[in-house]
Chains A and B, each alone.
Chain A
């Protein structure tokens, strides 16, 4: 039931991209996304696709790894494209009775699709080559200056990291409770709406209860280990930028600059 949830999992590999600092990858990814939006059709977008191809090569991922992320968005892309084709006015390219598709509509639809695909590609590239924890670590260090403005950066990141850690456990727990209730005759699929709802509650309430209990237990365990929030806390692993990080950042910045200036 929960097996098909895909959160853009990390795909371990020994590639150049995998070894870069998470901060580099996040910022470079932002540069790339900005470049995607600034790029004009068709020549500039073509060059960005070339750059994307190079990144794919550097990441050692396969095209098939990206498919699960694209799949849910296909329908959105399709609907948007149909609307754009039908409703964007301009020089008619061809008409069929009352339907008329303009040259501008085709250009907009193609550009939109190309950009959307690139966008998904970059996000997937980031999540496939960087562990969630590394991403969070990077985010924490980048957002750290905001602490001076009173934003609880460390606490927010800690909440997100722990949530990530508990997702598999939560799924396991949900599955266990569901099976326990099935054993006791509950059925979540057949029966009237009211009886199904009732059964659903018999599933959700214990799940909520056990999650709250876990949260309480964990907070106690953290406090017992002298956790007092981010103040005065140090880190075991400190992120360090290396030569490769600078090279990657610079090339992405150059790509963005080229798109903006040309």
Chain B
């Protein structure tokens, strides 16, 4: 479990704290989504979770290991993988296999074990045919898969996904999201998805809305759906379908529940006879 208690963080030379007094628990094998407008503190929060940033106040602990102790940082980073938005800024090797091996090499594993993990991780993301390929010649979606494999090769318990889809086309997004969910089911890895898209966040068990460095709301996707106009205030674009239901409900006599997320249910309500 990742536990944040009373965590605040101010960047060096920053005028106000990027994160203010956040307390939160993330369970093993949980899937949560973190949402919020640009500059709300989402990415700072992500970097606090794996000890890239250390809290100014409060404490972050991963499975009981506090990030305030320097000797805990290596085990924390082994447990908590962090995927960044832009794959080009994380790829550092000249061959896919070297890229994926970088993490296990840092953990000081035996060459045979590293080879084993590289092969397994690449198979998990269906990129095993590209093992001797230079990563920078791959497409955006393939690059993000390689980055993902690089994290999986470290066998993490938690994956923090910081806007992993921002550089991908719709098809790439869908494929990658499916992959994340598969990892969770097969490997029991907890997912923390940071995203701007409510549609993607709906896949999670819990959605946390961060605004102005603080937790604004924690709720299930159904809870979040019913927030209506409040969502826009915290910089989140409501789902198309919610806008549509909102418009319908303006008509006198029409009352459709606001927590409907799929078209089929809406059709059932609008045309009960069919």
Bound complex: CA A221 to CA B95 (Å): 17
Shortest Cβ gap from A135 to chain B (Å): 12
Within 8 Å by CB of A226, from B94, B106, B115, lies B106
B31 at the interface (CB under 8 A from A): no
A–B Cβ pairs within 8 angstroms, 8 of them: A165-B93, A222-B102, A225-B106, A226-B77, A226-B107, A228-B74, A234-B110, A236-B114
Contact with A along B124-151 (1 / 0, CB 8 A): 0000000000001000000000000011
**A131 and B94 form a contact (CB under 8 A):** yes
Q: Mark B219-263, 1 if CB is under 8 A from A, else 0.
A: 000000000000000000000000000000000000000000000
From B74, B92, B150, give the contact of A162 (CB < 8 A): B92
**A224-B106 contact, Cβ under 8 Å, with A165-B92, A165-B94, A218-B92:** no
- With A168-B136, A217-B86, A224-B52 as contacts: A236 and B118 at CB distance below 8 Å: yes
> Size band of the B side of the interface?
35 or more
Residue A220 is within 8 A (CB to CB) of chain B in the complex? yes
Contacts of A148 in B (CB 8 A): none
A131, A162, A218, A225 — which one has the most chain B CB atoms within 10 A of its CB? A225
Shortest CB–CB separation between residue B149 and chain A, in angstroms? 12
CA–CA, A84 and B111, complex, Å: 56
The B70-108 residues at the A interface (CB cut-off 8 A) are 74, 77-78, 81-82, 84, 86, 88-90, 92-95, 97-98, 101-108
A220-B52, A225-B102, A226-B74 given. 16 additional CB < 8 A pairs?
Answer: A132-B94, A133-B95, A162-B92, A165-B136, A168-B136, A169-B136, A217-B86, A224-B52, A224-B84, A225-B77, A226-B78, A228-B106, A232-B108, A236-B98, A236-B104, A238-B111
Once the chains bind, are B94 and A234 in contact (CB under 8 Å)?
A: no
Closest to B103 in A: A225
Given A225-B154, A226-B74, residue A218 in contact with residue B90 (CB < 8 A): yes
Complex-state Cα separation, A115 to B102, whole angstroms = 42
Residue of A nearest to B82 (CB): A224
A236 touches B92 (CB 8 A): no
A contact residues around B269 at 8 Å (CB): none
Chain A residues with a Cβ under 8 A of chain B: 131-133, 161-162, 164-165, 168-169, 214, 217-218, 220-228, 232-238
Residue B270 at the chain A interface, CB threshold 8 Å: no
Report B166-203 residues with CB < 8 Å from chain A CB: none
By a CB distance below 8 angstroms, the chain B residues around A228 are: 74, 106
**Cβ contact within 8 Å between A227 and B102:** yes
Contact between A217 and B106 (Cβ–Cβ < 8 Å)?
Answer: no
Bound form: Cα–Cα A168–B135 in Å: 13
The CA-CA distance from A57 to B192 in the complex, in Å, is 57
A205 CB, min distance to chain B CBs, angstroms: 20
B111 in complex: contacting residue of A131, A218, A221, A237, CB < 8 Å:
A237
Question: Is B74 within 8 A of A233, CB to CB?
Answer: no
Residues of A within 8 A of B109 (CB): 234
Q: How far is the CA of A232 from the CA of B81 in the complex (A)?
A: 20
* Chain B, residue nearest A166 (CB): B92
List of A residues within 8 angstroms of B111 by Cβ? 234-238
